[in-house]
Amino acid sequence: KSQLITMQSSLVLNGAYCNVVRGQLAAQEENRKKKTKGRLVGDGLPCLLTSAAFVERVIAF
């Protein structure tokens, strides 16, 4: 019986920990979305800035 209580309490604590970590991960992902919002070309490679697709992205930005 004491093993059952121990297992149940560890399950409850593990569930609470998972909820906290899930919330932290969601907040971290939201922060990453906000930081990368200002980039038009996010791959870090040089590109020709006269392409029609890039000009449209600049206008939309």
Domain boundaries, the chain: 2-60
Burial zone of 25 (CB within 10 Å; 0-12 exposed, 13-18 middle, 19+ buried): exposed
| Nearest C-alpha neighbor of 58 from the set 42, 39, 45, 43 | 39
Q: What is the pLDDT of residues 17-59, one digit of tens each?
A: 999 999 999 999 888 877 655 666 666 666 666 677 777 877 8
42 contacts 36 by C-beta, under 8 angstroms: yes
pLDDT the model gives residue 22 = 97
**Predicted TM-score of the model (pTM):** 0.50
